[in-house]
């Protein structure tokens, strides 16, 4: 189900819930007993939206984990995770659901358990077992949970490396954990001799993230250089380890001129990374990697971008080297190159302003300038000029970027006000939100915000204007009084996102009055 930018923005900007009546909770608990499935689900969702204020509903919700309807069971699990309160019976019920035949039920049970944090001793064996789940969404949630668990998950991941179904996913998680998963290095090294192609590659990449521990298994990694399917990953691992014997270095130097461009570029990077003071190695690697950013091969593009970042090339060097790949390049190449510029921070602003002039780089340049926050302020006038761009996507992104720059973009207030009043859809919503983020310096937009809030037919638009008004004129009793009825009406909305955001905003407003 597609959500508007406004929905996500409200989730980010709203702060605290107002009070919830006990009668509301009691009525929803009573509705859980209904024989009508839709009524039960509606009650479950209402209770979940109340968070820990619905703690008294934990027991009846737990009983619904055994409901004959998978939809009801899944919704109950989700609500329990939202409430964040559980006893042993609840935890046991959720753990049991991780073995459900229904993928949605398994997904929600895993998410709820992760939210409730019942303890590693209960969670890790279940999660490790579920790594081999056939449902990608289940596996993704398990991987996220294990990654967030950190070092306590390593013993279970080591065990998973011995499992045919779980080994590949265990490598991916260990790679994310990096040095704190160093205890897994011996088992990863075993994979290099017993595993198959894809698994060996992932084991090499995982070892690369724990270079100190990997040095004990240098011989096993070096042997992989002789396998054309593993040479690139092995070179990367050896480079990350930071030291090479003369024999290994000679082999990697020879590979720099390989017909395999990916291997040649990776070999040049490994030499430069291992010898950070060798300017010749560094210049050669930066040049090759910059050219790799313009490759038609997505893997080479991604690897080249990361390689350039790791070598910490000077901003002026990056600018010069990236100019050729950017000329007449397709969108994936441009995105990669612009992504590299985003790592340069404020020093890239002048280059990004220049990139606004070119259609191929404009959208990404706007996004990066916005991500810099107040440091993107020097581009304010350039971004203002794009608010009325003929490409709605560009115009919308310019509005968002100005909002992200915040008070430093106060010069944009007149154009954002016009965009709010005459724009439609997401551009109007984002203009209101941008004015709110500029804050009191955008107070001249107050009259327009009030007008749109009071006359617009879309409750979401009304709510975005209400939020902006509270930001630009928060000390005014008249503004608070004008916003109050809009928030009360929004609380009656059939849209739970609008309803909950209104509750949160009203809670904040009540606290300020």
User: CA 223 to CA 506: how far, in whole Å?
Assistant: 65
Percentage of residues of the chain with pLDDT beyond 90? 35
Residue 196: how many other CB atoms lie within 10 Å? 11
pLDDT in tens, 200-250: 999 999 999 999 999 999 999 999 999 999 999 999 999 999 889 999 999
pTM: 0.51
pLDDT in tens, 375-406: 999 999 999 999 988 888 899 999 999 999 99
Closest among 378, 375, 423 to 399, alpha carbons compared: 423
Q: Which residue has the tokens 């899944």?
A: 74
Query: Which helix (H) or strand (E) covers residue 75, if one does?
Result: helix 70-83
Structure token digits, residue 278: 């060798």
pLDDT in tens, 217-230: 999 999 999 999 99
User: CA 32 to CA 28: how far, in whole Å?
Assistant: 6
Q: Are 86 and 95 in contact (CB under 8 A)?
A: no
**Mean pLDDT value across residues 44-68:** 89
User: CA 19 to CA 379: how far, in whole Å?
Assistant: 43
At residue 468, does pLDDT exceed 80?
Answer: yes
The CA–CA distances, whole Å, from 48 to 42, 53, 103, 124, 317 equal 10, 9, 21, 26, 53
Q: Tell me the Ramachandran region of residue 119: left when phi exceeds 0, alpha when psi lies from -120 to 50, beta otherwise.
A: left
pLDDT in tens, 116-136: 766 555 555 666 666 666 566
State the pLDDT at residue 3: 39
Judged by average pLDDT, the poorest of 34-43, 155-164, 412-421 is 155-164
Structure token digits, residue 510: 């009540």
Structure token digits, residue 263: 């291997």
Q: Which of 7-16, 247-256, 276-285 has the highest mean predicted lDDT (pLDDT)?
A: 247-256
State the pLDDT at residue 153: 80
**Mean pLDDT value across residues 150-158:** 83
User: CA 201 to CA 494: how far, in whole Å?
Assistant: 50
Q: Are 85 and 118 in contact (CB under 8 A)?
A: no
Q: Are 241 and 215 in contact (CB under 8 A)?
A: yes
Closest among 423, 422, 361 to 394, alpha carbons compared: 361
DSSP-derived secondary structure for 88-153: HHHHHHHHHHTT-SSHHHHHHHHHHHHHH---HHHHHHHHHHHTT-S-HHHHHHHHHHHHHH-GGG
Torsion of CA 493, 494, 497, 499, to 10 degrees: 30
State the pLDDT at residue 14: 36
At residue 412, does pLDDT exceed 90?
Answer: yes
* Average pLDDT of the chain to the nearest whole number: 81
Can you list the alpha helix ranges (DSSP code H) found in 423-476?
425-438, 446-455, 459-472
Q: What's the chain's length in residues?
A: 513
- 137 pLDDT band (50/70/90 cuts)? low
- CA angle, 229 as apex, 224 and 231 as ends, to 5°? 45
């Amino acid at each position: 189900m597609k959500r508007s930018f406004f929905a996500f923005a409200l989730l980010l900007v709203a702060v605290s819930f107002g009070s919830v009546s006990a009668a509301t909770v009691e009525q929803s608990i009573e509705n859980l007993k209904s024989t009508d499935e839709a009524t039960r689900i509606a009650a479950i969702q209402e209770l979940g939206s109340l968070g820990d204020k619905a703690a008294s509903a934990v027991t009846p919700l737990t009983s619904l984990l055994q409901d004959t309807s998978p939809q009801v069971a899944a919704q109950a699990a989700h609500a329990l995770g939202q409430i964040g309160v559980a006893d042993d019976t609840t935890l046991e019920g959720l753990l049991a659901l991780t073995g459900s035949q229904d993928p949605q039920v398994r997904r929600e049970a895993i998410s709820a358990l992760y939210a409730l944090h019942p303890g590693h001793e209960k969670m890790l064996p279940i999660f490790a077992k579920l790594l081999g789940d056939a449902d990608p969404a289940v596996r993704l949630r398990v991987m996220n949970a294990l990654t967030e668990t950190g070092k306590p998950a390593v013993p279970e991941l080591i065990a998973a490396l011995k499992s045919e179904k779980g080994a590949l996913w265990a490598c991916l998680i260990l790679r994310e954990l990096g040095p704190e998963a160093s205890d897994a290095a011996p088992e990863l090294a075993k994979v290099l001799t017993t595993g198959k192609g894809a698994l060996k590659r992932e084991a090499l990449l995982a070892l690369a993230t724990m270079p100190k521990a990997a040095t004990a298994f240098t011989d096993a990694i070096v042997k992989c250089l002789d396998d054309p399917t593993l040479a690139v990953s092995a070179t990367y691992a050896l480079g990350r380890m930071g030291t090479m014997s003369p024999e290994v270095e000679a082999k990697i130097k020879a590979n720099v001129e390989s017909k395999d461009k990916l291997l040649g570029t990776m070999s040049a990077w490994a030499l430069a990374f291992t010898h950070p003071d060798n300017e010749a190695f560094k210049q050669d690697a930066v040049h090759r990697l910059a050219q790799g950013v313009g490759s038609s091969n997505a893997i080479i593009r991604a690897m080249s971008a990361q390689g350039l970042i790791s070598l910490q090339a000077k901003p002026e060097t990056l600018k010069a080297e990236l100019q050729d790949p950017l000329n007449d390049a397709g969108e994936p190449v441009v995105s990669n190159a612009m992504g590299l510029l985003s790592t340069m921070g404020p020093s890239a602003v002048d280059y990004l302003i220049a990139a606004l002039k070119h259609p191929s780089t404009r959208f990404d340049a706007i996004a990066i300038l916005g991500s810099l926050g107040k440091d993107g302020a020097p581009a304010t006038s350039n971004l203002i000029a794009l608010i009325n761009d003929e490409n709605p996507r560009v115009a919308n992104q310019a509005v968002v970027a100005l909002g992200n720059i915040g008070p430093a973009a106060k010069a944009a207030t007149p154009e954002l006000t016009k965009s709010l009043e005459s724009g439609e859809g997401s551009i109007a919503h984002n203009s209101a939100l941008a004015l709110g983020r500029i804050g009191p310096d955008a107070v001249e937009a107050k009259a327009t915000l009030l007008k749109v809030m009071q006359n617009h037919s879309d409750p979401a638009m009304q709510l975005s204007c209400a939020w902006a008004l509270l930001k630009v004129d928060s000390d005014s009793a008249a503004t608070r009084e004008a916003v109050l009825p809009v928030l009360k009406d929004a609380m009656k909305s059939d849209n739970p996102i609008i309803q909950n955001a209104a509750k949160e905003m009203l809670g904040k407003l009540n606290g300020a009055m």
